Amino acid sequence: MTPTQRDIDLEMAAHRAAYERGRASGGPAVDHPPRDYPPYRSSALRHPTRPLVAVAGDPEAVELHGPVFGHTDVSPLDADLTGQHGGEPQGARITVTGRLLDRAGRPVAGQLVEIWQANAAGRYAHRLDRHPAPLDPHFTGAGRALTGPDGSYHFTTVQPGAYPWRNHDNAWRPAHIHFSVFGTAFTQRLVTQMYFPGDPLLAHDPVLRSVVDDDARRRLVATYDHALSRPEWSLGYRWDIVLDGPRATWAEEGR
């Protein structure tokens, strides 16, 4: 039997309640999703069952550095997803901007941010996406940027559509933009998804809700910022990204 949305909602509520009980009895806050989250069916066979092996106090130098990207890698044009195909794509034009920070709040400058997303109709320009929504000849949905000296990044794109998937019966992903981010250390690597405020599908999505901590989950939702909207042109969203990683990458000097 294919589970219904209600079945999945109940499973997700049970995971959240178990986490909240743990917190109430002194358990730690957990920021990242567990790799085993049964409501997201695809995680079942793709998560390790043995504990990760801690590399404590003895890293390789290479793990505390990361690949270097520069202006040979990324052109400023790569950050405008509406300008890549000789015509305006369908949909509402938006800008997404924010800062890339480490856990000490310091800007992470000169690092690579990559995004990808569905078009306004909820269709990816990917050969395996079979959703019967139209492709847009003026939109591929992939962009790149380097963070500035203050850690800031800026993209111009269109509001992505929600799209169906096969996790359960009548399953829909909320609108989201995928992000891939590098820090100064390879071990700060982050791939995540940014969501939009007020989307009713946020309550029903097992990918988002795999982040069981309410505060952590809220950090995946961008803020609509009217000051970033441009008259007669685009709506503005703000989303800051904080890289996790080894304590060595964010601890204060001398500690």
Partner 1 sequence: MTGGSAALPPTPSQTIGPFFGHALPFAGGGDLAPAAHPGAVTVHGRVHDGAGAPVPDAIVELWQNGPEGRPPRAPGSLARRDGDLAQEFTGFGRVATDAEGRWSARTLRPGARAGRAPQVSVCVFARGLLHHLFTRLYFPDDPAALAADPLLASLDPARRATLVATAEPLGPAPRYRFDIHLQGEKETVFLDFRDFRDFRDFR
113: helix, coil or strand? strand
Q: Which of 173, 204, 209, 217 is catalytic?
A: 173
Q: Is 176 a catalytic residue?
A: yes
Amino acid occupying residue 53: V
> Least distance (Å) from partner 1 to the CB of residue 3?
17
CB neighbour class for 185 (10 Å; exposed up to 12, middle 13-18, buried from 19) = buried
Q: Which of the residues 67 through 126 are near partner 1 (CB under 8 A)? A: 67-74, 101-105, 114-116, 118, 124-126
Q: Are 111 and 100 in contact (CB under 8 A)?
A: yes
Measured in residues, the chain has a length of 255
Residue with the two structure tokens 């359960």? 168
Q: Is 195 a catalytic residue?
A: no
The token pair that represents 3 in the structure block:
């589970």
Alpha-carbon distance 161 to 174, whole Å? 8
Q: Which of 123, 138, 144, 176 is catalytic?
A: 176
The mark string for 162-201 relative to partner 1 (x by CB under 8 A, - otherwise) is ----------------x-x-----xx-xxxxx--------
Local structure of residue 88 (DSSP, 8 states): P
Nearer to partner 1, 91 or 141 (CB): 141
Q: Are 12 and 206 in contact (CB under 8 A)?
A: yes
Nearer to partner 1, 154 or 229 (CB): 154
Q: Which of 37, 153, 163, 237 is catalytic?
A: 163
Q: Is 124 a catalytic residue?
A: yes
Q: Which of the residues 38 through 67 are near partner 1 (CB under 8 A)? A: 40, 42-50, 52-67
Q: Which of 124, 153, 195, 237 is catalytic?
A: 124
> Least distance (Å) from partner 1 to the CB of residue 141?
7
The mark string for 200-239 relative to partner 1 (x by CB under 8 A, - otherwise) is -------xx-xx---xxx-xx-------------------
In sequence order, the 6+-apart residues with CB closer than 8 A to the CB of 199 are 162, 174, 175
> Catalytic site residues?
124, 163, 173, 176, 178
